[in-house]
Structure 1
Amino acid sequence: MKLIKLLFLFVTLFASAQLQAQLAKHSFALGDTAFLLDGKPLQIISGEMHYTRVPREAWRQRMKMAKAMGLNTIGTYVFWNVHEPQKGHFDFTGNNDIAAFVKTAQEQGLWVILRPSPYVCAEWEFGGYPYWLEKEKGLIVRSTEASYLKEYELYIKEVGKQLAPLQVNHGGNILMVQIENEYGSYASDKDYLAINRKMFIDAGFDGQLYTCDPEAAIKDGHLPGLLPAINGVDNVDKVKKLIKDNHNGKGPYFIAEWYPAWFDWWGTKHHTVPAENYVARLDSVLSAGLSINMYMFHGGTTRGFMNGANYNDKDPYEPQISSYDYDAPLDEAGNATDKYQKFRQVIKKHLPEGQTLPEVPAAKSAMAIADIKLNRSAGLFDMLPQARVNKTPLTFEDLNQAYGFVLYRTSISGKKDAVLKIKGLRDFGVVFINGKRAGTLDRRLKQDSLLVSLPKGSARLDILVENMGRINFGPYLLKNKKGITEMVMLDGRELNNWKMYGLPFNKVADLPQQAVINDPAVPVIKQGTFILDSVADTYLDMRKWGKGIVWINGHNLGRYWKVGPQQSLYVPGEWLKKGANKITVFELLDGKQKSISTVKSPILDELNGSDVSK
């Protein structure tokens, strides 16, 4: 009994000592050539991983994988639009609990580099900005305009309440905090950057602040007095020169975004880059003592409606897919790839003396389950909410709706063929005459007109519009309104007197048990229940479907679209349960399917052409 008591006392004291060590205040400073933690050089080997793209239940597993690859730090953005989805309403709960994410990293022995920015880019809706900023009259993002700065300040102070106490100089594990994000690629207003710095300090971020920019933009995006980190360059001499030239001839040297792969968008080939292309580069960077943050170490999934899009004058609108696999070292489900193993061997060579890596945790189990029957269905036109009426079409922003879909309805007349033109369609429209589909219009393909056949007398015109993701990069951040943003014309005549039905799909209700609809051309909601004896990761095989969204047990898994390249949706085992599980599908184009198949691995590289919507 005495031995047991002594053992218990020893374990308690050890745990207490470990906790005190974690909570001890540290000094973190910039040396001339290296970062200094408590006065000793620290080489940051970081990997980007976003809390919003990983189920909270899986954060710890992903961090264990980071440690096993040799990372000592996690980098993450902070996303304004998830934390203030509506003006003045803040959310730091559940998967949005960024403080819990940071604390979990500390428990796993990982430092954190924090990027509240507040603009993040990140292939994320509106670059992280909340949609309602578009509603504020005169507001100009990334500027010194007063209404923007007011909202920015309110937001960053809320972030400070959550995270400032977790800085390393307060006993936490946040080493550095980034202000703005690649600002030099957007503008060059140093006064604006100085206001950023002051706002961060006023919000409690009194540790090390830094900026990051690509090579061509570092002079415009850097604020004197802060460390200028570099993105997208891994030539050692060039990195050192760029940072020295903008930092009084000194380091330390930090590659804030090192890209071992890339992201995907709808209708284009899946991007992959062999690990061999980057092994020698990683080795040279670490050999030179440079610090690095891999973007991405683990991408995860951009679930719900949170994907962004690219657009400029030369290229078409390019909305990103839901999978953010990124061909990263850790795949979408959190398993080690060949790239992970090869990078691990490089990092292993550069560990401090006496340090070893933990064994790589076993791969997560995956399963294919029996086809899921969808025995309940309901047509969208039979489930519409109360309408908003207006002479002209209202945008999503006018309707106080952030994401999802809006159905626009009016009456037209005349037995003839006519050209329907939608000016300012943002972004994908399905057109119906008297409930029958007449065609689709796709912003990606610069489609805005459709020849329709009108029956004799009055007819009902419906246009179902999907927000496919606001632009997240470049000069069009302020041209991001969604829906029908201008007007609808029939043979050159403007159509008025509209009813708008908002369909944000923030959550989905259960359909009646007896609900069944069999018209495959009508947008339809389908539901089913499936029973599991055990749980593991799986992937929904959506190759037989058209375009839509899937929910499992209330979790929005993201978009699917037959154009590809993504043809599957990742279902985390953490969101499944033994016993009954619920699935809901909202299908826009092809409602004939009565079941969904699953597979054990993702399908991310199958294209079906750029336009298979008809």
Structure 2
Amino acid sequence: MPALTTSTDGFLLHGEPFRILSGAMHYFRIHPDQWADRLRKARLMGLNTVETYLPWNHHQPEPGTLVLDGFLDLPRWLRLAQEEGLQVILRPGPFICAEWDDGGLPSWLLADPDIRLRTSDPRFTGAFDGYVDLLLPALRPYLAAHGGPVIAVQVENEYGAYGDDTAYLKHVHQSLRERGVEELLFTCDQANPEHLSAGTLPGTLATTTFGSRVEENLAALRAHQPEGPLMCAEFWIGWFDHWGGPHHVRDAADAAADLDRLLATGASVNIYMFHGGTNFGFTNGANHKHAYTPTITSYDYDAALTESGDPGPKYHAFREVIARHAGVPEEPAPAPAPKLPVTDVDLDHRAPLLPYVRGLAAVRTGHPATMNELGLRSGYVLYRTTLPNSGEGLLHFAGGVGDRALVFVDGACLGVLERERHDETLVVRVPHAGAVLEVLVENMGGVNYGPRIGAPKGLLGPVSFQGTALEGWEARPVPVDDPAAVPFGAYETGPSAGPAFHRGTFEVVTPADTFLALPGWTKGQAWVNGFHLGRYWNRGPQHTLYVPAPVLRQGSNELVVLELHATTATRARLTDSADLGPENTW
């Protein structure tokens, strides 16, 4: 019998009435050395449960593999949660959305252009079954039936917003059951009749998602499900941000008032997000409705805990609300963590990107290959061919680019193409026949919601100049996994023009959280001691990158920046506060 069961109007845990007071935090967005701190802060706010997605694409980067270490050491995270006295809700997908690259679906699966995602297509369900065949034995000791903290597991994720293949949902449900998940299974959908009808399963608990209009949304759930617990499985207290947009925030008093209304009904809740964390590296997702809009590196989400794990205004406001309804620990609320003193970093070594990449092995094709065809999950590709004609003309990229491209002729940058603007053409002047065309394409993040999940990256079709198709392409992936391998030379005096890696060192007395600011820089990536902080862009709203304290070490530390454009600076700054940009209150 599962530890968590349902009655006509609530939950029972081991037979006793239990209200789920949960907060979302994604272990894969938090440095593992900070997991225990974040879990402790969840308990101190008054939560009795934590919830997390599982990113299939990272746990299984290749078919037949399973990664459970470092940021992906879910068993360790579950042990820490149990040691803190917290229950756990798992949301393994297959699809997770989560503003995560491709919604958590693996690139090797998306490489099949004919696969029907999130359906009963046996290519999709078979791949998921193979994944859980490996995953669930490793997680079984942490299920409540085996003495662990996991009391509930979600079936798919907001499926009613995507499709209506009930047989597919039944397959996911059965796949979990057949592999030993005895715990409570549930679905989660937005609170409207169409989504609830398409995304739920008879006999399986339905939950809903919303951020306001508490009574209205709970009534919609009750109309769909006349008996059983009422639960908001995602109570949205903030929102995510896109490059070029504002930083979304929600007034703490407003969010706390809605939480109060929700708890007053007797309903259970999962606060999304209790702690957002960071899209380190190339992990951010994107949306694509009318236009492609990539998500920023920070996943602060205006959550109860800030991106750096400090209690924010909502933490204290929610703690007061929870104290009125369920009580909170007698221990005091946690204080903000110490921050590194403001530190300037001179980036005094430079390695131009294009000469470095030109010396690497190439994949040769007649027409330009997509990143998917090249087997690349993320990052950059440098495409290269020659132009047969001279003079001014239209350079046409059929189908555009995925997702942003710098175009060079004989090493001179002549323009930028962006998927976001639906760019497909560029007027260029070619100095001579046989000039070298190079196109540096950046994957800005896979779409994580809607029908465009798995959209290809790189050059998306034939390229022509003055109406003549260009053939004989070379493609070179840009190596960004190990910045220590970059061949740095002496820094060239003056401003830097063109893509280049930049390197500098700085001293640390006592490691502490800090935030990397890059005034005067344009767009690129940053690493500290080889740890990939993620993407920066002066377009904003985000103007600092979070640097977790465990990334730093006492003594000498290294900063590496890959700048794609020009920079007017040779210096970066580590600051003691985040700058996530102009705020838009909702």
Cα drift, residue 294 of structure 1: 0.8
- Quickly say closer, same or farther: Cα 1:31–1:235, change in 2 above 3 A: farther
Cα drift, residue 234 of structure 1: 5.2
Aligned equivalent of 1:449, options 425, 448, 463: 425
Distance 1:235 1:445 in 2: 35
SS at match of 2:67: coil
The answer as to 2:338 corresponding to 1:365 is yes
Distance 1:237 1:346 in 2: 17
Aligned equivalent of 1:322, options 291, 297, 305: 297
- Quickly say closer, same or farther: Cα 1:586–1:256, change in 2 above 3 A: same
Deviations 1:96-118 (A, max 9, x none): 01111111111111111100011
- Quickly say closer, same or farther: Cα 1:125–1:457, change in 2 above 3 A: same
Aligned equivalent of 1:399, options 365, 374, 392: 374
Aligned to 1:268: 245
Distance 1:281 1:606 in 2: 25
- Quickly say closer, same or farther: Cα 1:469–1:77, change in 2 above 3 A: same
Cα drift, residue 131 of structure 1: 1.1
The answer as to 2:74 corresponding to 1:79 is no
Give unpaired runs (5+ residues) of structure 1. Answer: 1-24, 608-614
- Quickly say closer, same or farther: Cα 1:299–1:398, change in 2 above 3 A: same
Cα drift, residue 236 of structure 1: 5.1
The answer as to 2:572 corresponding to 1:599 is no
Deviations 1:168-195 (A, max 9, x none): 1210111100010000000111111100
Alignment of 1:452-601 (within 5 A): 452-478=428-454, 480-512=455-487, 514-517=489-492, 520-601=496-577
Distance 2:513 2:362 in 1: 40
Distance 2:145 2:575 in 1: 47
SS at match of 1:293: strand
The answer as to 2:286 corresponding to 1:286 is no
The AA in structure 1 aligned to 2:220 is L
Aligned equivalent of 1:332, options 304, 307, 315: 307
SS at match of 1:67: helix
C-alpha contact (below 8 Å) 2:210/2:217 kept by paired residues: no
The AA in structure 2 aligned to 1:81 is N
SS at match of 1:398: coil
Cα drift, residue 209 of structure 1: 0.4
Aligned equivalent of 2:200, options 219, 222, 233: 222
Cα drift, residue 317 of structure 1: 0.6
Higher mean C-alpha displacement, 328-337 vs 447-456 = 447-456
Higher mean C-alpha displacement, 129-138 vs 432-441 = 129-138
Distance 2:396 2:239 in 1: 36
Give unpaired runs (5+ residues) of structure 2. Answer: none
Aligned to 2:166: 190
Deviations 1:298-355 (A, max 9, x none): 101011111111112xx21110000001111110000011111111111111125xx6
Aligned to 1:342: 317
Distance 1:356 1:305 in 2: 38
Higher mean C-alpha displacement, 197-206 vs 321-330 = 197-206
SS at match of 1:71: coil
Cα drift, residue 88 of structure 1: 2.5
SS at match of 1:383: helix
- Quickly say closer, same or farther: Cα 1:137–1:513, change in 2 above 3 A: closer
C-alpha contact (below 8 Å) 1:35/1:252 kept by paired residues: yes
Aligned to 1:21: none
Aligned to 2:42: 66
C-alpha contact (below 8 Å) 2:519/2:569 kept by paired residues: no
C-alpha contact (below 8 Å) 1:268/1:565 kept by paired residues: yes
Distance 2:410 2:218 in 1: 65
C-alpha contact (below 8 Å) 2:23/2:50 kept by paired residues: yes
Deviations 1:381-435 (A, max 9, x none): 2212201000000111111111000000001143311111222310000011111
Distance 2:578 2:535 in 1: 14
C-alpha contact (below 8 Å) 1:260/1:278 kept by paired residues: yes
The AA in structure 2 aligned to 1:220 is A
The AA in structure 2 aligned to 1:231 is T
The AA in structure 1 aligned to 2:332 is E
Aligned to 2:285: 308
Cα drift, residue 546 of structure 1: 0.6
SS at match of 2:384: strand
Cα drift, residue 544 of structure 1: 1.5
Aligned equivalent of 2:352, options 354, 365, 379: 379
Distance 2:377 2:449 in 1: 18
Distance 1:90 1:491 in 2: 49
Q: Output the aligned Cα RMSD.
A: 1.7
Aligned equivalent of 1:46, options 22, 37, 40: 22
Cα drift, residue 595 of structure 1: 1.7
SS at match of 2:168: helix
C-alpha contact (below 8 Å) 1:377/1:511 kept by paired residues: no
Aligned to 1:417: 392
Distance 1:294 1:27 in 2: 22
The answer as to 2:244 corresponding to 1:250 is no
SS at match of 1:150: helix
Deviations 1:440-484 (A, max 9, x none): 111112222111111123211100000001110011124x11100
Using structure 1 for the length normalisation, give the TM-score. Answer: 0.91
Cα drift, residue 239 of structure 1: 4.5
C-alpha contact (below 8 Å) 1:378/1:517 kept by paired residues: no
Distance 1:567 1:236 in 2: 35
SS at match of 1:219: helix
SS at match of 2:109: helix
Aligned to 2:210: 232
The AA in structure 2 aligned to 1:415 is S
The AA in structure 1 aligned to 2:244 is G
- Quickly say closer, same or farther: Cα 1:283–1:460, change in 2 above 3 A: same
The AA in structure 2 aligned to 1:587 is E
SS at match of 1:132: helix
C-alpha contact (below 8 Å) 2:304/2:315 kept by paired residues: yes
Distance 1:328 1:594 in 2: 34
Tell me how many residue pairs correspond in the alignment.
Answer: 577
Distance 1:260 1:69 in 2: 15
Distance 1:70 1:395 in 2: 49
The AA in structure 2 aligned to 1:135 is A
Distance 2:440 2:476 in 1: 9
SS at match of 2:321: helix
- Quickly say closer, same or farther: Cα 1:543–1:592, change in 2 above 3 A: closer
Distance 1:246 1:190 in 2: 16
Alignment of 1:107-146 (within 5 A): 107-136=83-112, 138-146=114-122
C-alpha contact (below 8 Å) 1:367/1:599 kept by paired residues: yes
The AA in structure 1 aligned to 2:351 is A
Deviations 1:540-590 (A, max 9, x none): 112321100001111110100010000110101111010121211111012
Aligned to 1:31: 7
Percentage identity across aligned positions? 37
The AA in structure 2 aligned to 1:323 is S
Distance 2:81 2:411 in 1: 52
Aligned to 1:213: 189
C-alpha contact (below 8 Å) 2:517/2:572 kept by paired residues: yes
SS at match of 2:247: coil
The AA in structure 2 aligned to 1:376 is H
SS at match of 2:302: coil
- Quickly say closer, same or farther: Cα 1:251–1:357, change in 2 above 3 A: farther
The answer as to 2:146 corresponding to 1:170 is yes
Cα drift, residue 593 of structure 1: 2.7
